[in-house]
Chains A and B, each alone.
Chain A
Amino acid sequence: MAQTLTETAGTLEAMMPVPYAVTAKRQDTYDTWTLELEPVDGAPIVPGPGQFNMLYAFGVGEVPISNAGNFETDERLVHTIRAVGAVTKALCAAEIGTIVGVRGPFGNTWPIKEAKGKDVVIVAGGIGLPPLRPAIYHVLKNREDYGRFVLLYGARTPSDLVFLDEVKSWQSNYDVDLDITVDAGDTDWKGKVGLVTKLIPPAQFDADDARAFIVGPEIMMKFVAQELMNRDLPAAAINVSMERTMRCGVGLCGHCQIGPTLVCRDGACYTWDEVENLIAVKEL
Chain B
Amino acid sequence: MKTLDAVIAESPVFAGLTQEQLEFIVGCAQNVHFDAGQTIAKAGDNADVFYLIRMGEVALDLDVPNKKSVRIDTVEAGQVLGWSWLIPPHEWKYDVTATELVRAIAFDGECLRGKCDSDPVLGYALLTRFSQVLVGRLQATRFRLLDIYGTDTH
Interface, chain A (partner B; CB < 8 A): 66, 82, 84, 88, 125-128, 130-131, 154-156, 160, 181, 183-187, 189-195, 197-198, 202, 215-220, 223, 241, 243, 284
Which of A125, A185, A191, A215 neighbours the largest number of chain B CB atoms within 10 Å of its CB?
Answer: A185
Given known contacts A187-B61, A194-B140, A217 and B148 CB-to-CB distance under 8 angstroms: yes
CB contact between A184 and one of B71, B143, B148, B154 (< 8 Å): that residue: B71
Contacts of A202 in B (CB 8 A): 76-78
Question: Closest chain A residue to B148 by CB distance?
Answer: A220
Contacts of B150 in A (CB 8 A): 126, 156, 217
Distance in angstroms between the alpha carbons of A191 and B146 in the assembled complex: 22
B142 touches A243 (CB 8 A): no
B151 touches A82 (CB 8 A): no
Q: What is the interface size of chain B, counting residues whose CB is below 8 A from a CB of the partner?
A: 29
Contacts of A88 in B (CB 8 A): 153
Looking at the assembled complex, report how far the CB atom of A36 sits from the nearest CB atom of chain B, in whole angstroms. 18
B21 within 8 A of A: no
Distance in angstroms between the alpha carbons of A189 and B68 in the assembled complex: 12
CB contact between B146 and one of A66, A160, A184, A219 (< 8 Å): that residue: A219
Interface, chain B (partner A; CB < 8 A): 57, 59-61, 68-74, 76-78, 99, 139-140, 142-144, 146-154
B149 touches A186 (CB 8 A): no
Which of A130, A155, A189 neighbours the largest number of chain B CB atoms within 10 Å of its CB?
Answer: A189
Looking at the assembled complex, report how far the CB atom of B22 sits from the nearest CB atom of chain A, in whole angstroms. 23
Contacts of B60 in A (CB 8 A): 193
Ordered by A's residue number, 20 sampled pairs between the chains whose C-beta atoms are within 8 Å are: A82-B153, A84-B153, A126-B154, A127-B153, A128-B154, A181-B74, A183-B147, A186-B68, A187-B71, A189-B71, A193-B71, A202-B77, A202-B78, A215-B154, A216-B149, A217-B149, A217-B152, A217-B154, A220-B149, A223-B143
Distance in angstroms between the alpha carbons of A189 and B73 in the assembled complex: 12
B151 touches A217 (CB 8 A): yes
Majority-rule SS of A interface residues = mixed
Which of B69, B76, B142, B152 neighbours the largest number of chain A CB atoms within 10 Å of its CB?
Answer: B152
A187 touches B144 (CB 8 A): no
A127-B154, A181-B74, A219-B148 provided; 7 other pairs, C-beta below 8 A? A88-B153, A186-B70, A187-B69, A190-B99, A216-B148, A219-B151, A243-B154
A155 touches B72 (CB 8 A): no
Which of B72, B99, B142, B148 neighbours the largest number of chain A CB atoms within 10 Å of its CB?
Answer: B148
Question: Closest chain A residue to B149 by CB distance?
Answer: A126
Contacts of A215 in B (CB 8 A): 154
Contacts of B59 in A (CB 8 A): 185, 193
